[in-house]
Structure 1
Amino acid sequence: MSQIEVTQIIEQIKEEIEVDASGKAKASVRATARLAGVDEKAIRHTLENAEQKPSKLAVMLMQHGFQSAELKQWKKNGIPDIAIAIILEYYAFDANRYCNPQARLVCRSFNAIGIRAWIQEKLGWAKPATSHETALTQIQLLAAIAQQMAEQEQRLLQQQQQQAEILSRLKDVEIEQDRFNTPCGHKYSIVGFATLQGLEISAKDASAKGKKASALCRKQGIEVERIHDPRFGKVGLYPESVLIEVFSSNSKDKAIAS
């Protein structure tokens, strides 16, 4: 007899074992006999004759507080879990030649936790929650949900911060890449650069500055790019660094003249 076989027996007699709302268990005479590994008739005989001719097993049951009249009712109402434990112990150790290894194995299976807990476990019974426990569970659930939401919000903030840091780094990379690709700065026309700086410039001044910018570009070996302009036809595009120098020198000239 193995634990696997005991499990199979439990499965076969499961419908004949029940647990009430308070957790107390009971089993039919047949189910108890199957657990003890004995003939059902032997247990029935013990229960039927408990008052007139009590057997050794009946005496053991009565020594544990059961009345002889109760034993007879068990045939119909089922055997209480405590009585099942006594019956199993009897057939495991005290029944002399009727002792059997199955009863000992089942005894060992539930001795550590008790027959009631053992049956509850086998039937998957769980103690019903009281109103206080239910309320506490709901409060705990709400607290858990709130905690999850807080953690989720924190993760979202962290993600937003990480995204901002990534965008900042990308911006820095773009600036550095732009600086590398255009070491002299971006290119503008004379009028375009003046507008960017918020300056008013006449066509004459624009032409003069264009000539200066072209001269500086030739001196520095920078090729001047030409684009179409609806007002002037073709105009040159000059690096920002050159235009800064041209406009700065013009400001200095005006300051000296004044």
Structure 2
Amino acid sequence: MSQIEIAKIIEQISQEIQIDVNGQGKASVRATARLADVNDAGLLRNLRTAADKTHSKLVEKLIRKGFEPAEIWGWSESGIPDIAVATIIHYYGYEAGKRCTLQATLVCEAFESIGVRAWIQDKLGWTKPAAHSETAMTQIQLLAAIAQQMALQEQRLLEQQQQQTEILARIQAVEVEQERFNAPCGHKYSIVGFANLQGLEISRKEASTKGKKASALCRQQGIEIERIRDPRFGRVGLYPESVLIEVFKAEQN
């Protein structure tokens, strides 16, 4: 999964995040689960162990971050604070054992520089009121510029990879043709296969006759005949292109 795909996921959940006048963001349980690539019902059950005597490992981690159990239990209604969102994504990226997801790890990496709060602020257009004397870019604007630059770099990398793939395909095609040119007898075909390649119709009897002639020529020239399975004839021989050209040319004459 690329950063471009993650950006699409973020766009899909943009309606489920909010920000207050102080720039503190919140996301719904579903949006948080979508970011971490986990089931939202499972995440909710995990969070609601905050009301139990025995907490889940995720809830224990959130409590260590300073969140109260009662607060955690109520997030299904009030939304998950941005710092808790970051903690949850990190948990599913690195600490959830078998439940760890690659997407959560990648989202952590994407948010590593700007943080979840900065991302939500930028996503919803919130900026800290600047004094009249401030002329430099705000932190959010600077981070947004960095993120945009990273996206452009990734796009250029994808384009380069596509170009490399096309070049490799061309090289492979040239190598195949070069191999055919260098081979003393050219490619090998069955009698029917070569006839189809030439646009000729051939009966079973004619194929058998030509096969015998091709086999005789191969033996005369010391060429080994390769045998393959055929659904119609059982096993058929593969003959060098040069031999088949001679056989078919002789028949036409």
The TM-score, its normalising length taken from structure 2, stands at: 0.50
Measure the CA separation in 1 of the matches of 2:32 and 2:100: 15
The aligned residue for residue 7 of structure 2 is 7
The aligned residue for residue 94 of structure 2 is 93
Residues 38-63 of structure 1: per-residue CA shift (max 9 Å, x gap): 00012100222212131000000001
Q: Where do 4+ consecutive residues of structure 1 move more than 4 Å?
A: none
Q: How many Å apart are 1:67 and its aligned residue?
A: 0.6
Say whether the 8 Å CA contact 1:88–1:103 is kept in structure 2: yes
The reply to whether residue 45 of structure 1 matches residue 45 of structure 2 is yes
The aligned residue for residue 104 of structure 1 is 105
User: Which one-letter code corresponds to 2:18 in the other structure?
Assistant: E
Alignment of 1:1-258 (within 5 A): 1-52=1-52, 53-129=54-130, 133-134=131-132, 136=133
Measure the CA separation in 1 of the matches of 2:42 and 2:50: 12
Q: How many Å apart are 1:120 and its aligned residue?
A: 1.9
Q: How many Å apart are 1:11 and its aligned residue?
A: 0.9
Measure the CA separation in 2 of the matches of 1:11 and 1:118: 12
Residues 233-256 of structure 1: per-residue CA shift (max 9 Å, x gap): xxxxxxxxxxxxxxxxxxxxxxxx
Measure the CA separation in 1 of the matches of 2:36 and 2:129: 30
The aligned residue for residue 147 of structure 1 is none
Measure the CA separation in 2 of the matches of 1:64 and 1:29: 18
The aligned residue for residue 190 of structure 2 is none
Residues 139-170 of structure 1: per-residue CA shift (max 9 Å, x gap): xxxxxxxxxxxxxxxxxxxxxxxxxxxxxxxx
Residues 156-197 of structure 1: per-residue CA shift (max 9 Å, x gap): xxxxxxxxxxxxxxxxxxxxxxxxxxxxxxxxxxxxxxxxxx
% identical aligned pairs: 52
Measure the CA separation in 2 of the matches of 1:37 and 1:122: 20
Say whether the 8 Å CA contact 2:47–2:58 is kept in structure 1: no
Measure the CA separation in 1 of the matches of 2:108 and 2:114: 11
Measure the CA separation in 2 of the matches of 1:122 and 1:37: 20
Measure the CA separation in 1 of the matches of 2:93 and 2:120: 18
User: Which one-letter code corresponds to 1:126 in the other structure?
Assistant: T
Consecutive unaligned residues of structure 1, counting only runs of 5 or more, are 138-258
Q: Which of these two proteins has the greater Rg computed from alpha carbons?
A: 1
Measure the CA separation in 2 of the matches of 1:90 and 1:112: 18
Measure the CA separation in 1 of the matches of 2:100 and 2:120: 22
User: Which one-letter code corresponds to 2:11 in the other structure?
Assistant: E
Helix, strand or coil: the match of 1:49?
A: helix
The aligned residue for residue 144 of structure 1 is none
Residues 91-118 of structure 1: per-residue CA shift (max 9 Å, x gap): 0000000101100011001112222112
Q: How many residues align?
A: 134
Q: How many Å apart are 1:19 and its aligned residue?
A: 1.4
Measure the CA separation in 1 of the matches of 2:129 and 2:16: 22
